Amino acid sequence: MANIASARKRARQDEERRVHNRSQRTRMRTQIKRVVGALRSGDKARAESAYKEAVPILDKMADKGIIHKNKAARHKARLNRRIRALG
């Protein structure tokens, strides 16, 4: 355990950020799963709608540094490719 006040504060902040970031990552993964679920069912309209909801969340996670920008781009590209393949 940290002994210096600034180190204790840093540990508190790190824990708060870890919990917050974990919930944000979970939210992102849930959105991706909604798109994949719609794709598996073959519902293109629902997949496009879910994709439009997922894109801003992926972009926000990349902007905040929770995930790498290339990871966000990779997810968007793969999902978009699968949606286009349905048509």
Please write the tens of the pLDDT for every residue from 29-72: 999 999 999 999 999 999 999 999 999 999 999 999 999 999 99
pLDDT at 36: 97
CATH no. for residue 17? Answer: 1.20.58.110
pLDDT at 1 over 80: no
Domain of residue 64: give its range.
5-86
**Exposed (0-12), middle (13-18) or buried (19+): which is 82, by Cβ within 10 Å?**
middle
E strand or H helix at 25: helix 5-41
pLDDT band at 75 (very low <50, low <70, confident <90, very high): very high
Number of domains in the chain: 1
pLDDT band at 2 (very low <50, low <70, confident <90, very high): confident
pLDDT band at 15 (very low <50, low <70, confident <90, very high): very high
Prediction pTM value? 0.86
Cβ distance 72 to 32 under 8 Å? no
